[in-house]
Amino acid sequence: MIRTLDLLTRGAFLGLAMFAILAHLLLLLGTTVPGWPLPVLLALGWGAANWTAQPLATARPHGQQHSRTRTRAIVALTILVITGTTWILALGATDTPSRFWDGLVTWDVRAKFLTLTPTLEQGYFRDPAVYAHSRDYPVLQPLLIALGNRTLGGEFGRLLFPLLYLLSTATIASTLLRARVRTEIATLAALAFAITPMLVNPTSGGADSGYGELFLTTAMLGAGAGILTRQPIQLAASLVLVVAAKPEGLLYALLPATVAFAHGDRRLCYAGVLGWTIGALAWLPVQYDLNHFGATPPAMLWFGICGVATLALGLVHGCERLGVTPRTRQRCVLVGAPLALLALPLLAGVLGSLGGTLTTYFGESDRAWERLPRLFSVLLGLADHALIRLRFVFAYWAVLLAAMMLWLRRRERPTANALGALLVLGAVTTFVPFLLSPEDDLEHHLRSTMSRLLLHWLGIAWLFVGWALNSAWPDRTTNNHPAGAPIDDPRIGSVLDTHDGGHAIAQPDA
């Protein structure tokens, strides 16, 4: 069953990514996107996941009967809760269209038009005189819903939301199990994710609200899973979806490659750059097409994306050739990340000319500089929404505790945790919209946006907490191998657990 779950989740990410690439290509070519490639590509994804699967060694409940009974009870409770919640979310998604502002205005409208004709060659997208609220927002989610509506009838395309909820909870459990985290901890982490109020409440940004938040959360979780289990294909496929899910995905998708670079994991770094590049090559030309009512994207756009990718790959290759240590790379990232943030206004000249959402954020080059004094208020807002308002209950408290615990244990077992680093970079990126958005009312902006930004990182947060918990109570049946490395990995003690770029064999816990 665990193997099936693992194959289903990894195959789903791969199949969806392949569909995203194909769908964007067809949209750019001005043709109709048929429904049949979706199940075909999902089946292909599952086949590929099966073909590339490594033997799965998971931790098992050990020892006494009461331990096994406890594990079974936790698993049964979790399956029951997730089934019930999925049912409620399915009702919320399909009984009515979106019941919240952005769901109706930003996402549902485009799904309605794409349901009638799944192509951009129609007046709503092509005629500048026709009012379109978010014309250049990502189209993958509305397209998936539209194809579902066309196949199943009514609003049943919105079953995408409960399915994404299922995919994300299953991904947490299967990833942690694949990382050889104990079954009860992996299940508990999936349960903890699945009942988070911000995710399951009937609220703006909730799972069935019609927003793009669940899609982005799931895609980011897929990327986190790729990092934790060191699967380049999973990482690259998830990053394609991250870019295609929401505008902020373009920025988020750079972070896993950055983390892999900092930890000296060349394979994951290449996969991260490849995923971002494919995602950007698929989505940005379509976004340009939408902004300019069908105009052909300029060569500068293609060259720009390929140029960024070439620079990144060259940097990684150069560091490999020069033997730059992970410690030096981490320092480079620590210095480089804030510099990149401060350099955002410089991108205005390049991205501002592309129009639409990008211009909205990057169009005024001085805005970010003028708003630097806001940073402290944004930090307070971040803490308020993550830790005090209880929309995430104790999820981010658990992340802080897990980070402290791993910090205290660093002498016993050196742990450079890539997921932790990803969460730190994620926290930094939450500042970006508040520096660049045209919204001047910071309080209103924090209230309407911060919880949704935090939701994007929730899946990775629970992967991190589950993995940290397991490191405190390692599985005794396989304690020669740290969590995070497949048992047949020749480099057991991967970069997630060592400071030396993954070339040393990790020692068992003291």
Partner 1 sequence: MNPNAKRLATGLLGLVVVHALWGLLRLPSRVAARRLSEIAQYREHGAVNYFLGATGKREDGGAAAVDWLLENSAPNAVVLWRGETKGAFELASGLLAPRWLVHRNHVSTAAREYRGRPLAGDARGIAVLVGAGERVELEFR
C-alpha 154, offset from chain centre: 29
Q: How far apart are CA 320 and CA 324, in angstroms?
A: 6
Asked if residue 265 binds partner 1 (CB under 8 A), the reply is no
Binds partner 1 (CB under 8 A): choice among 335, 473, 480, 508: 473
CB of 360 to partner 1, least distance (A): 14
Number of residues that bind partner 1 (CB under 8 A): 57
Q: Which residues, 201 to 220, sit near partner 1 by CB under 8 A?
A: 201-202, 208
CB of 178 to partner 1, least distance (A): 20
**Nearer residue to partner 1 within complex by CB, 106 or 330:** 106
**Nearer residue to partner 1 within complex by CB, 124 or 302:** 124
Question: What sign does the dihedral 359-362-365-370 (CA atoms) show?
Answer: positive
Which range binds partner 1 by CB under 8 A, 139-147, 198-206, 307-315, 436-444? 198-206
Binds partner 1 (CB under 8 A): choice among 60, 72, 409, 499: 409
Binds partner 1 (CB under 8 A): choice among 40, 73, 130, 306: 130
Q: Which residues, 215 to 244, sit near partner 1 by CB under 8 A?
A: none
Locate tokens 């490659």: which residue?
257
Alpha-carbon torsion angle 289, 291, 295, 299, nearest 10: -70
Contacts of 65 (CB under 8 A, 6+ apart): none
Asked if residue 192 binds partner 1 (CB under 8 A), the reply is yes
Binds partner 1 (CB under 8 A): choice among 88, 324, 427, 432: 88
**Nearer residue to partner 1 within complex by CB, 401 or 424:** 401
Which range binds partner 1 by CB under 8 A, 30-38, 52-60, 184-192, 238-246? 184-192
How far lies 245's CA from each of 143, 328, 471, 496, in Å?
Answer: 11, 33, 33, 27
Which range binds partner 1 by CB under 8 A, 26-34, 46-54, 191-199, 288-296? 191-199
Q: Which residues, 92 to 111, sit near partner 1 by CB under 8 A?
A: 92, 95-97, 99, 101, 104-105, 108-109
Closest Cα partner for 177 from 445, 408, 478, 480? Answer: 478
How far lies 230's CA from each of 5, 60, 178, 218, in Å?
Answer: 18, 21, 10, 18
Compute the radius of gyration of the chain from its Cα atoms.
22
Q: How far apart are CA 281 and CA 284, in angstroms?
A: 6
Binds partner 1 (CB under 8 A): choice among 268, 468, 483, 485: 468
Q: What single letter denotes the amino acid at residue 140?
A: L
- Asked if residue 180 lies in contact with residue 186, where contact means CB atoms within 8 angstroms, the answer is no
Asked if residue 25 binds partner 1 (CB under 8 A), the reply is no
Asked if residue 196 binds partner 1 (CB under 8 A), the reply is yes
Which range binds partner 1 by CB under 8 A, 163-171, 186-194, 287-295, 450-458? 186-194
Q: How far apart are CA 426 and CA 217, in angstroms?
A: 12
Element (H, E) at 314: helix 299-322
> Residue 352: is it exposed, middle or buried by C-beta count within 10 angstroms (0-12/13-18/19+)?
middle
b/e map 44-55, b = 16+ CB within 10 Å: bbbebbeeeeee
Residues near partner 1 (CB under 8 A): 81, 84-85, 88, 91-92, 95-97, 99, 101, 104-105, 108-109, 112-113, 116, 123-124, 127, 129-131, 133, 188-189, 191-192, 194-197, 200-202, 208, 393-395, 397-398, 401-402, 404-405, 408-409, 411-412, 465, 468-469, 472-473, 509-510
